[in-house]
Amino acid sequence: MILPIITYPNKQLKVRSSEVTHFDELLHRFLDDMYETMISSNGIGLAAIQLANPIRVLILCIPDEEGNQNKEDLIEIINPIIHNPQGKVMYQEGCLSVPGFYEDVERFETLILHYKNRYGEPCILEANELLSIAVQHEIDHLEGKLFIDKLTYHRRKKFEKEYKKALKEKK
Ligand code: QAP
Ligand code: CO
């Protein structure tokens, strides 16, 4: 089932998400809906809060070298913790909750992620490149943070102006 994605400036996006305690059928169905919703919107990552569900769940599906998204590359991440963040990189990010806007953001280059899969089993992932950036972007959602919150004052101002203009033109 495709669910509606909430978009900025919806205040729900600022909510801190809570740990998952029940790895049950309800969670599995929600994860399936997240995937369907993300793919149908041309996303590579999605956090549960973007579907108005404040739980510490995110999914990622990083495209391969040809730019294809394969379901085998889907990673379901629950209750994540970042270890050993190292290095710095800049990447032009976007977000399904901030449609049509892209801006450079600084992230750690590599990290180790500890998390649970949909069955509650502990997993460890070493992430670099786009995967590492996507993990950090999605974990920020769990803290109620958006990539636009990381912009300089000047760039944030520019964003607010452009975004409001785009919203008006859509109506
Ligand atoms: C987060 O973002 C991310 O504005 C996932 O019109 C961003 O999937 C991870 C999207 C950058 C790593 C690097 C955005 C689709 C998708 C839009 C997305 C849009 C259509 C964003
Ligand atoms: Co996002």
Would residue 15 count as lying in a domain?
A: yes
pLDDT at 171 over 80: no
| pLDDT for 117 | 99
Instruction: Give the structural domain span for 133.
Output: 11-170
Question: Of all protein residues, whose CA lies closest to atom 2 belonging to ligand 1?
Answer: 95
Per residue in 137-162, pLDDT (tens digit) is 999 999 999 999 999 999 999 999 99
CATH of the domain at 127: 3.90.45.10
Hey, is 18 helix, strand or coil?
A: strand
Would residue 1 count as lying in a domain?
A: no
Q: What is the pTM of this model?
A: 0.98
| pLDDT for 44 | 98
CA of 68 to the centre of ligand 1 (A): 15
The environment of the single-atom ion ligand 2, i.e. residues with CB closer than 5 A, is: 95
Would residue 77 count as lying in a domain?
A: yes
pLDDT at 108 over 90: yes
Would residue 2 count as lying in a domain?
A: no
DSSP 76-116: EEEEEEEEEEEEEEEEEE--TTSTT--EEEEEEEEEEEEEE
Q: What confidence tier does 170 reach under pLDDT thresholds 50, 70, 90?
A: confident
* pLDDT above 70: percentage of residues in the chain: 100
Would residue 3 count as lying in a domain?
A: no
Q: Over range 120-124, report the average pLDDT.
A: 98
Q: Over range 4-26, report the average pLDDT.
A: 98
Question: Of all protein residues, whose CA lies closest to atom 12 belonging to ligand 1?
Answer: 134
Q: Which of 6, 40, 96 to mutate to test the pocket of ligand 1 (most atoms within 8 A of CB)?
A: 96
Per the structure, the count of domains in the chain is 1
